[in-house]
Structures are given as structure tokens and as C-alpha cells.
Structure 1
Amino acid sequence: MFGHNNNGTGDMETAGSALKRMLPELVVSKQKLRQAEGGCAVRFKREEGKQNVGFSSRPFVLCGLPVRKPAAGEILYERRNGDFVLQITGHPNYGLPFGQDRTVPIYLATLAIRQQSQSIRFRTASEMLETFGMHKGGKEYRRLVAAFERIFGATIFFDTYTLNGKAKVVQRSRFSFFNEAQIWYSRDPGQCPSSDEFENIIVLSDQFYQEITSHASPADLEAVKVLVGAPACSISSCGSPTAAFERKEKRPFRWWGPKDSRARLAQSNTPGPDDFAKNSNNGWSSSMFFGPNARRASTQMGTV
């Protein structure tokens, strides 16, 4: 117990309640502590060169999916980021993809790059849940089924505007994520027969496969895993390994063309680590543990 409260009843209040009332900025939730611990682990793996590197597609690193669930009946989403424009049209029956649905294209792009195939295969849908640290209960499986339905039914429009001398060049792409899918949802991997007949197969669309193979954007899967419950943070941290991940010859990993990705992002006014730190409450942000100042930030928080 700490002392008398201020409600006039004369009851005692706990030290935690008093601290939360007088100094709320010092109170840290369990979720934030888990994110801080996970962020430190991610940073150490990066320093040791033991990253679990996956891949994402360029449109969703630059613009991203809707963070929150769209209103009922809303099937059109548009986001602009400097010279980039992303439009997503959802299926009338399934709606727009949003929130944690972004893990589906990350998972598909990662498998496509690793398997070097437009037709990707994986044993069970629970492998995806395990990759991103999700529980394997009935609620999570229902969410996964709904996420695949929304992703399957979505149509993507992606425009880029560039200046070539005095002329304005517009490049437009239109694609869906995949053409066909055969997915077995089983909570127990041991119940799935080993036959190829029961293997999960997803055939990516020609345009989506070309996009991810031509403009593969490295994503730190451990960072996405830590922040899977915070869609806005995960979208930003998905692209941050691009600057941190390097080839063995110590040359920066580039997204597209001859220009460095960081310069292109700066020109397109994409929020960077400093912007997220400024806009976050009480200084807590994913950039503190996944951005370039991770060591300094985590040391200040007393986690190192």
C-alpha cells in the first residue's frame, strides 16, 4: 500500500496506482516491455549477422495496407506517398485487407524468393502463424482464413510519377496477389498426410511475382514478429532492415535502380525513424529498437 487516495473515501491506494496517477510517463505496459525485449534480441542478431531476412513487395513498404478495419461496405482504399500512389479494391464479399493481413503478402513474397518459383508450396498454414509468433487457436485460424480471402480478392493499383527532363513519366501497375490457392487449415501438423495431394500450393499472379522478384524489399521477419500486433509499427519496421542489411561485401542492399533506397524514401517524404520517434507517445516507438539509433535508445531505457 502507498497512501490515501484523492477520492475522499480515506481508502488506501497501491503504489502502482499512485505512480500511474502522478507520473504516467513512467508506467510501461507488458506489451511495451515485450516489444523492448524483442527489439534488443533483433538488434543483437543484426549485429551478429544472424538475421531472419524475409521479403516484402515495394508498394506495401512505401504505402502500406489500411491499419484499421475499414467501415462496412468500404471496398476502396487509396494512399499517396510523394510520387507513389497505392489503390486497393477489395472483394465485395470479403472486403479490404487491413492490419495483420499484411503478413500474408510478406510470407508469400518470402517463400517466392526463397523457392525461386511462382508456385509456392508449404506444409501447413500453421507454419505462417509460427513464423510471425501467432497463437494457433481457433480464433487465430479464423483470422488467417479471413486474411487469405481478403488478400485473394483484392486488386492492386500502383502508380509512380517521375520527371525525365521536362517530361513527366507515369508508370502504372495493376495486379492481384495470386491466381489460385489450395490451402489446408489444420491445427495439428501431425494430422496432415505427407502426400503431395495435401500440400498447400499458391500460384502467384504474373504481375505480383514479377514485382517481388524485380524489386524485392528485404524485411526483418523477427522485427515484424515482435510488432505483429502493432500494424503501423510493423509496416515501418518492415523496410528498415534495407538500410541495415548488407551483403557480405559490405555494400548496401538496394531496392531498385541505381539510387539508394534511403535517398528515394527521403525524396518521397516517407516517415523515417526520427519521424516515428517524434510522433510516438512518451518516446516509445519501434524505431527506438529497430532503427539506426537502436543501441543508444535501448541503453537509455536501461535494457542493455
Structure 2
Amino acid sequence: MLIGYCIEDFLNYLEVERGSSPNTIEGYAVDLGLFLSFLKQNDLPLNAEDITVQHLRQFLVYLKKERGNAPVTVKRKVSTIKSLYNFICRERIYGIDYNPAIQLATIKTCRKLPQILSLEECKTFLKGIKQVSLFPERDYAMFLLFLQSGCRLLELKMMKLSDLNLKEKTVRFLGKGNKERIVPLTGDTCRSLQGYLDVRRPKVETDYLFLSTHGKPISKRGIQQNFRDMAEKTGVYRPGLSVHKLRHTSLTLLLKEGVDIRCLQEIAGHADISTTQVYTHVAGEDIRKQMEKHPLAVIDSDTESQLIREMAYEVYNVC
């Protein structure tokens, strides 16, 4: 069976049976399209059953040396190919029952801590929006919702009026894999959303919550560009800061305030707790700084020397 047909079947499976998000499907399509192009350009086998682990290793070398992909990018593409072959083997209609990708060694990567805004930067950003935005009611409500709920960009873009329950102070998000979750809202967030709803004027009747200045459903690109503009105008922007970092900021601030990690997992909509645990490392940096304020962090040299002598004496006697 040609690998191209298998890829097409796999992407259809993700969309129809798994209910994967458009972003997830697009990511798989890009990675697998690159793999298929590599096979064709290098006159390598195009039948799924003829592709070996050696061919896959050639692909990894190509990714690293010719495309300059970082280890984390290469690791993602390996995961994509493994998922494809897991699907092929499970379906049992392609005559293949072995996944060559399982022979590939795990690629080591350094997991970067997510960039976030400090609490003071969040306050500066939100206060500044009211002075610099051309649509302050919408932008204040939108970015406050980001920071309070920790939602994803696509989740916010796809929100409908029916997803809001301001009386119960909750919002419903449709996350990855079409999984719904209900997140509580603070009183301030509810008031800001109501303030936006009072001036929301669609030019085209729509149930989508957040609209562009033209009265149409706002796009992902529109939200991203709007965040960049607001961040620059309020003085909190720095290279690498994106609207997705508001999600990281929200979850980190909640963790620092003592929210249980299992609760944080539910708020974030993470399927795996290990994804949530990255925020414990971010909070840990703050804990490390706070520990420097420990009353025993600074000891005068005479006292320190005396403590060392006493500890050495105790160790010697124990031994």
C-alpha cells in the first residue's frame, strides 16, 4: 500500500473518529507531507511495507543537518510517524503488522520553561488596555478572560454566546479532542464580559462571542495581532511573547497561589498531568528566590566557621 494513501486515511481517521482539532490535524499533515516529499526526492520506497528504520533514520539526519530542525521539532516528527504506523498496524487492512519507528531511540530534548508575565505586568497590561485600545470593552474582557481562565487561543476564538453563563459565573470551553470543560469565572471577569456584551454590535448575525471591529467573528490572526499591539502599547512586550503565553501566565499564577495541581489540570484541560507539571518548575523559580530571604541565608563568617566546626565534630564522633 502506498504510504500516501495511508497518510490520507490516517488524517481522515483523526478528523472523523478521533475528533482532533483542525490545528492538530494540520500539524500531522505538515509533518507527514514533509516525510512523503523526502521519500520521493531521495528515490526511497513509497510502499508503507517497504519503509524500514534505516529510511526513517535518513529522514532524521535530513531534518537535523539540512533543515536545521531543533531536537524538540525532530522528536515531534518522530512521534507523528509512530502514530501513523500505529494506525496502520491497528487497522490490519494494509498488510502491515510492524511499526519500524519503534526502533528509533528517544530523542533527548531540554524542555523550556514557558515564558510568562509577572503579576505586576498583568496589571499594567490590563489597566493600559482601557487607555490604548480602539475597542476597550472587547479587548479588556478578552484578555482578562485569557488571564483568568487559562484558555487556549482557539478555545477563545470559537466561544459562543451560549458558552457564557454570567449568572452562574462559568464559561464552557471546547478543548482538544472536542472535550468540554466548565471553568468558574471571577466577578471582575463577569462584569467585564457583560460590559462587552452591552456594546457588542454584529454587522453579520452570529453566535460567536468575540467580534472584530467590522462586526464579524474575530480570527486567530486578529487576536494574535491585537495582543501584540496591546502588549507593545502598554509596555509589557518582549521578544518571544505571544498571546499563548497568557495561558502559561494564568496557570502559573494559579499554582503560585496554592491551587492543587489536579485542579489546575482540570482548569487547563490537560489530558496528561505531566503537561501540567511543567508549571511546578516555573513556580519553583519563584520559590527559590523567596528562599534567599531565609533568616539563615546570611551568616557572618565567625558564626559560619563555628557551625562548620560543630558539624564536623558531630560527624567525627558518629563515625
Question: TM-score scaled by structure 2?
Answer: 0.22
Higher RCO structure, 1 or 2 (CA under 8 Å, sep 6+): 1
Structure with the higher fraction of residues in strand conformation: 1
Structure with the higher fraction of residues in helix conformation: 2
